[in-house]
Amino acid sequence: MITIANNSYEVIVIGILAAFFAQVIKFLIFIIKSRKINFKIFTTTGGMPSSHSAGVMGLSTAVGLIAGFDSLIFAVAIGFSLVTMYDATGIRRAAGKTAACLNRMMDDFYNHDVKAVGGKLKELLGHTPFEVIMGALFGVIFAFYMHQYLTTHIITLFE
């Protein structure tokens, strides 16, 4: 019997589910804005909210709730989260802007026949700071809610 509360299983479950539900929210926002259904949204990076931020902050918050916000492992988890979120807004966003610029150049150079050189580069790689903050807030709130739920409703696997 495995209990999913106040242990590493809870941390893993919260981190994965926070990222998954952020992708679901991103999918719903896309449907509302474009009035189209595109299942590729579930596998793309970028967009609102950041599922990377939601996942890592959900994981870090769960670690803090279980091990204590003054623990060494929480410090490591929050450090990991900050690097991940910085990367999402900095490096990956810059790479996306570079891809957009290269796509425009290739479009002009090859007279709108970009497929001749292998197609367009992926432009939506990173996040705006707002998307990262919203993902992080979602992850923290989700972790608090799930921790409360899991500790009041004992859930076991493999009974």
Distance of alpha carbon 107 from alpha carbon 114, whole angstroms: 6
Distance of alpha carbon 114 from alpha carbon 77, whole angstroms: 42
What does residue 121 show for φ and ψ, rounded to 5 degrees? Answer: -80, 150
Residue 28 within a domain = yes
Domain count, the chain: 1
Q: Which domain holds residue 20?
A: 2-90+126-157
DSSP lists the bridge partners of residue 2 as 157
In this predicted model, what pLDDT tens digit does every residue of 99-158 receive, in sequence order?
A: 677 667 766 666 666 565 556 655 555 678 898 999 999 999 999 999 999 988 877 666
Residue 19 within a domain = yes
Residue 117 within a domain = no
Residue 21 within a domain = yes
Q: Work out the angle at residue 119's Cα, subtended by the Cα atoms of residues 100 and 34, and round it to the nearest 5 degrees.
A: 60
Range with the largest mean pLDDT of 3-12, 14-23, 87-96: 14-23
Residue written as token pair 């910085």? 86
| Of the candidates 67, 136, 61, 131, the residue with the CA atom closest to the CA atom of residue 96 | 131
Q: What is the pTM of this model?
A: 0.78
